[in-house]
Chains A and B, each alone.
Chain A
């Protein structure tokens, strides 16, 4: 070895290169023959793909569910469907109409079959008109958007206190994973103005009231209804401001609806090489969830005006806060874990839960009471806010798990009062660039007097296949 080094040094001194170690050139044997000849083909693929626009796919998802019987608080009619098949055509695209003008459309057309309605009914066809808006850029990086727009804020995964336009926007999805359910939610009709400069941005959005409040569920409506009443039943204003300092990516928000104003903040920061810490919070005057739900039920005539607040709670609007704080940890390549703590001060406390079950059990044979109790839970779901005051959320994602192109995801929400969980395991296999097949297993687990264990749907399984174009 020393002799070789001397020879190499001598060659260098003489201006003649030494031959590299044979091992260096042996590395070339590891290159597949096809790889050496495909660059021109790759350029053709690149040219075609780079000019392609939008995202279009066809999806079919069939779900089978198992229901619990003997609930402590009976679930009101109609029961949750035992099975459903959904076939969806999904489209998202933006067209440039001029140098400074563009149009965006995001829509999903669904064909539904369920055991609880006829194959041809009002519910058979459902169209989710998510977005349709024009964007004008009169000045560089100053944007004016008008139309139905999905404005989403928040850095957390399981609960977004600063996502003020999320209420009543959810439509059907096979997955319970929040990162998936957000893919199919309705936008809000608004005017939205945004300015972006070198180190920050600011925006303001105004969503006018077009309709009075409507019931959170209404099976008599046509499935092609754009549901503007869900998203535009109040005048709403949102202002955001972001300016990066201390590598925190802060975003401050002010939201105004009716006579109440909320303030929000988003922060995130890397910790070492593998962790991102993040938090988002909001605060403002509001009623607690039970009082708010009962008031909404009365306002929309779903509940009688004489309905008492059940379970009994503080009916007064006070300053209440929400928080989602967590970390994203990538300990090894292709594997990421998220852990979050959720605090929803307006949600049900441990005592509220005890009262909910005690009231329901004592009046199990009184439909008016049980309907009202379950209405509170349905309202929280429609608002896309936690039902319980404190919960934990975990998500793990493993890409290329066991084999290439298999992605496994597990999520769980844990009620911190009773330990009950809503969990889902997802497996997705990327059959090709165009085809993906996936499966979801979900379960509500817990004691009969727990949040999740009292839910009528015990478990469900979904098989889903997607064809991308």
Chain B
């Protein structure tokens, strides 16, 4: 069970690009925006407006060699009141984990294995385990949970080593729901394309480095389809999350409860 639980933690960063990186240029000049307004604007354009699904392939590299690969089908819905994301995740691969499900909805976290018909409730810590996880941003509203400061403008290389004119933002946790104490975040000016983020523990230790790549026009906006995660604690560990098959889909609230898990159909 636990191995699958750990793998699902990786989808936190699938949400990361959904939540951090789906920014588009606001109508007004971005030079006049404060840091908090930039984050707020990013939050406002983050959600495609309707529930959607995607398929993500997580490939783990150890010492530069691809080791494990997990394929997840993820159903995403934003609560219109709380602005928090709820997610339903189905394992499609590897074969030993096929069909397993994870529900991530606020503190309502469940793992379901169709082989044993067992639903196991998970703690937030279990949600955070995993090489690529260390931060749950699927249910985070950044403008609500973090206070942003504009560090400045910087020229930064993106994942393809192209120079980008970026805003460098410093996000500090402002609510208990904020998973990370601090996030450094680089957003390309003009396009509002997410380029890079760094995530810090309460101790100030750097935990993860994320690069956002392969931008495509999806679900009505330009969004990165690949996230590269570097484990800053053990830099031998790198995970790529490549996503595809984005689709709007009707996803009722009723899906996000334990008893629905056995009913989610393969499609």
Contacts and interface: CB of A to CB of B under 8 A. Distances in A.
Given A143-B263, A152-B118, A468-B94, A30 B235 contact: yes
A468 B204 CA distance: 43
Contact of B108 (A35, A50, A244): A244
Contact of B123 (A182, A244, A249, A330): A330
A contact residues, range = 35 or more
A383 B4 CA distance: 30
A200 B260 CA distance: 9
Contacts of B209: 27, 30
Nearest to A9: B152
Interface string B48-82: 00000001110101101111110101000000000
Interface of A: 8-9, 11-12, 15-20, 24-25, 27-28, 30-36, 38-39, 42-43, 45-47, 49-50, 52-57, 92, 94, 96, 102, 140-141, 143, 150-152, 155, 157, 179-180, 182-183, 194, 196-201, 203, 242, 244, 247, 249, 268, 270, 272-276, 278, 328-331, 333-334, 336, 397, 399-400, 404-405, 407, 430, 433-434, 436, 466, 468-469
Contacts of A32: 61, 64-65, 238
B95 A57 contact: yes
Contacts of A38: 59, 66, 240, 242
Contacts, number: 259
Contacts of B61: 32, 34-35
Closest 6 CB pairs of A and B: A49-B93, A433-B94, A468-B95, A42-B57, A42-B242, A49-B71
A23 to B, nearest CB: 11
B93 A433 contact: yes
Contacts of B95: 52, 55-57, 433-434, 468-469
A152 B117 contact: yes
Interface stretch (B39-47, B140-148, B155-163): B155-163
Contact of A39 (B3, B126, B242, B260): B242
Nearest to B235: A30
B214 A407 contact: no
Majority secondary structure, B binding face = strand
B1 A397 contact: yes
A158 to B, nearest CB: 12
B211 to A, nearest CB: 7
B173 to A, nearest CB: 14
B121 interface: yes
Contacts of B65: 32, 34
Contact of B129 (A18, A242, A333): A333
The DSSP consensus for interface residues of chain A is mixed
A174 to B, nearest CB: 15
Given A27-B209, A155-B119, A43 B242 contact: yes
A275 B123 contact: yes
B59 A35 contact: yes
A141 B196 contact: no
Given A201-B257, A242-B258, A430-B3, A39 B214 contact: yes
Contacts of A466: 96
Contact of B2 (A200, A244, A397, A433): A397
Given A47-B245, A55-B115, A436-B96, A20 B128 contact: no
Contacts of A336: 2, 126
Contacts of A329: 123
A328 B129 CA distance: 15
B93 A52 contact: yes
6 contacts: A19-B155, A25-B157, A31-B211, A196-B259, A399-B6, A468-B96
B99 A55 contact: yes
A19 B156 CA distance: 7
A46 B55 contact: yes
Contacts of A180: 116
Given A34-B65, A52-B93, 5 more contacts: A24-B196, A46-B92, A196-B263, A334-B130, A404-B62
B6 A31 contact: no
B108 A52 contact: no
Contacts of B245: 46-47, 50
A250 B215 CA distance: 43
Nearest to A149: B117
Nearest to A275: B123
